[in-house]
Amino acid sequence: MALKNDLILRTINGEKTERTPVWLMRQAGRILPEYRAVRNSLSGFKELVETPELAAEVTIQPVDILGVDAAIIFSDILVIPEAMGLKYEMVEKRGPHFPETVKSLSDVKRLKVAEASDVQYTIDAISVTKKELDGRVPVIGFAGAPWTIFAYMIEGGGSKTFSKARRMLYSEPQLSHELLQMITNSTINYLQGQVEAGANLIQIFDSWAGILSPELYKEFSLRYIQQICDAVDKVPKTVFAKDAYFAREWFGKINCNTVGLDWCMDIRESRKLIGENKTLQGNFDPCVLYSSEERIKEEAEKMLVQFGPTRHIANLGHGVYPDTDPHKVKFFIDTIKGYKH
């Protein structure tokens, strides 16, 4: 199926495009009343993730309402540990919680390497989304980076320090590598399933990259991201590692096409470190969207000038915050789409 809007894919290829493409992390979600209407009709977040037709509906909402240049499938990075045998709950206003965690080698042995069919609901959601979109925009598939998934499986939920997970890397390095490899193999199977279902590109989210030292990151995260990028070879790959300033040069050398930047990363310095052959994505501070339209326009145009006319996908430096006014989000997107380099 030919894409009617392939701006993002052409940008990733380094082509000069008529304008900078734009989409937002967490664009399908709580900022939209239309999303909340669907979500409130269900028992909870997980039911929405696990119902392909509804997941597809909320995936497409930002394309219709906000005018973004891509649809990212509505799912969660924690479907992978669940598919491996470690169930999670999504607790309202608190976030993810694992009733059981991985504490020992025997816990690891009880897990399995997941197949794509273990997360069939997301695979089916991509198929439904592709059919409904009919080529209007590309579909982005995604997964969490193995280190970030590992951190949740050890810690049992979100944490300011992830001290249990980091402690495990020091005290049980062999166990850590065994679990990380299982997560990596599961993620490869899952992403390959997403691509077969029609995902046009994929993104790897390393949300907790920044809590590791450069040395630990290289050993316990980067090598596994590299494996995923090498194995999922049919579509472009984006890596977004929040707060991993030290890893930018390394990302320039691995087999990914695009590197996501958070809002604290200097654009010109990042370009120098990552190199001219990768596309950069980001890196608007989500908090600017709370300010006036004049300030949003000023900051958005400043960002576009710094990134330049090629090899840039406009996005936020993190997911859009849930209490952001959707009209301000739409204004930001329209500003990007209306800007001429």
Q: How far apart are CA 101 and CA 97, in angstroms?
A: 10
Q: Could you confirm whether 152 is annotated as catalytic?
A: yes
- Do the annotations mark residue 26 as ligand-binding? yes
Residue 167 lies in a domain: yes
Q: Could you confirm whether 339 is annotated as catalytic?
A: no
- Do the annotations mark residue 27 as ligand-binding? yes
Q: How far apart are CA 327 and CA 243, in angstroms?
A: 28
**pLDDT computed for residue 94 by the predictor:** 84
Residue 271 lies in a domain: yes
Helix, strand and coil content of the chain, in percent to the nearest 5, comes to 50, 10, 35
Number of domains in the chain: 1
Q: Could you confirm whether 166 is annotated as catalytic?
A: no
Q: Could you confirm whether 39 is annotated as catalytic?
A: yes
CB 204 within 8 A of CB 236: no
Residue 180 lies in a domain: yes
3-state secondary structure of 29: coil
Active-site position among 26, 166, 248, 271: 26
- Do the annotations mark residue 190 as ligand-binding? no
CB 62 within 8 A of CB 315: no
Range of the domain at 322: 7-338
Residue 2 lies in a domain: no
Q: Is the preceding peptide bond at 5 cis, omega within 30 degrees of 0? A: no
**pTM greater than 0.75 (yes/no):** yes
Residue 67 lies in a domain: yes
Q: Which residues of the chain have pLDDT under 50?
A: none
For residue 298, with 0-12 CB atoms within 10 Å meaning exposed, 13-18 middle and 19 or more buried, which class applies?
middle
Residue 149 lies in a domain: yes
Residue 1 lies in a domain: no
**pLDDT computed for residue 311 by the predictor:** 98
Q: How far apart are CA 109 and CA 95, in angstroms?
A: 27
Q: How far apart are CA 248 and CA 241, in angstroms?
A: 9
CATH code for position 30 = 3.20.20.210
Q: Could you confirm whether 124 is annotated as catalytic?
A: no
Q: Across-strand partners of 90?
A: 96
Active-site position among 10, 19, 30, 223: 30
Model confidence pLDDT, tens digit, residues 14-53: 999 999 999 999 999 989 999 999 999 999 999 999 999 9
Q: How far apart are CA 132 and CA 219, in angstroms?
A: 42
Q: Which amino acid is at 315?
A: N
Residue 291 lies in a domain: yes
Active-site position among 6, 35, 69, 76: 76
